[in-house]
Amino acid sequence: MQSKHIKVRVYENKEISIGIFKLTIQGSFEGKPGQFYMLRAWDKQPFLSRPISIHNLDKGKIEFLYEVRGEGTEFFSNLKKDEFIELLGPLGNGFDIDSIKGKVAIVTGGIGIAPMYYVAKQLETCEIEFYAGFRDQVYLIDEIKDFANEIYVSTDTGQFGHKGFITEIFNPKKYDIVLCCGPSIMMDIILRVCKENNKKVFISQENRMACGIGACLGCTCKTNSGAKTVCKDGPVFSGEDVIIHA
């Protein structure tokens, strides 16, 4: 699957929760679950494009779900219909959907839910239980009900679901395979409990990136087989290989 650099018009850019936006672009796009695009909607500043995972891919459109965290995503949040944005992608290595079988747990934290919607959508032959942790406001859960057999939610405030962390209600013993995306501290716990219970796990890392193609080595992570780049070797890694220290 060859990456392409294109300039396209925004179809829709909608705030679905406080500080959480869904950006929709019409056209013909490619991408595997877990892959990402580098997005840019400015000429000179900020200097770097921003990596945003594929949230959804349908015939005739691609969607990106992002959280406003800094200058780049703030710029994205102000984009209007028919304004231009540049895309480079698809990039990175995604989940090997064909090898995922049986009863699957998908565990997410915060905006880590963004790529896992598309993952769940593609696992048509699996029994899926979805775990989603949030700080306060819950989003995307109604859409995920279309693909998941069970959904478990936690919030830091207890306003929705379990009060506390999603890792507190996750039990790996029930599953054949675990897929995870979220903050490093959360994924570190998931990796540990899966290892203790001899469960196979794959994680999608959210490291900061500069080039998106593995040239600058700015997103290097530690693995059992040496240093690897999240943008090119990942962002999806086997839990047997990756080393996370939050």
Residue 188 has pLDDT above 80, yes or no: yes
CA distances (Å), origin 116, targets 46, 74, 189, 217: 28, 23, 18, 25
CA distances (Å), origin 197, targets 9, 132, 172, 191: 47, 21, 7, 10
| Model pLDDT, residue 43 | 76
Q: At a CB cut-off of 8 Å and minimum separation 6, what does 129 contact?
A: 103, 104, 105, 106, 148, 149, 150, 151, 152, 174, 175
What size, in residues, is the chain?
246
| Model pLDDT, residue 202 | 96
The proportion of the chain whose per-residue pLDDT surpasses 70, expressed as a percent, equals 91
> CA-CA distance, 43 to 7, in Å (whole number)?
12
Mean per-residue pLDDT over the chain, rounded: 90
Six token digits for residue 95: 């989940």
- Among 11-15, 62-66, 80-84, 238-242, whose mean pLDDT is lowest? 238-242
Tokens 């994205």, located at residue: 76
Instruction: Write phi, then psi, for 143 (nearest 5 degrees).
Output: -70, -35
Pairing between β-strand 61-67 and β-strand 56-58 as defined by DSSP bridges: antiparallel
Angle of CA points 27, 125, 123, to nearest 5°: 40
| Model pLDDT, residue 213 | 65
| Model pLDDT, residue 244 | 63
pLDDT in tens, 95-111: 999 999 999 999 999 99
26-44: average pLDDT: 91
pTM: 0.92
Say which residue, 48 or 32, is predicted with more confidence: 32
Say which residue, 211 or 75, is predicted with more confidence: 75
Residue 12: name the closest of 83, 89, 86, 117 by CA.
Answer: 83
Residue 246 has pLDDT above 60, yes or no: no
Long-range contacts, 2-7 (Cβ 8 Å, 24+):
3/88, 3/89, 3/90, 3/91, 3/213, 4/87, 4/88, 4/89, 5/86, 5/87, 5/88, 6/86, 6/87, 7/84, 7/85, 7/86, 7/87
76-105: average pLDDT: 95
| Model pLDDT, residue 204 | 93
Residue 211 has pLDDT above 70, yes or no: no
pLDDT in tens, 110-119: 999 999 999 9
pLDDT in tens, 124-168: 999 999 999 999 999 999 999 999 999 999 999 999 999 999 999
| Model pLDDT, residue 116 | 97
CB neighbourhood size of 17 (10 A): 15
Say which residue, 229 or 12, is predicted with more confidence: 12
Q: Which range has highest mean pLDDT (38-42, 148-152, 222-226)?
A: 148-152
Tokens 């769940």, located at residue: 120
- Which domains are delineated in the chain? 4-91 (2.40.30.10), 97-238 (3.40.50.80)
| Model pLDDT, residue 169 | 97
Q: At a CB cut-off of 8 Å and minimum separation 6, what does 47 contact?
A: none
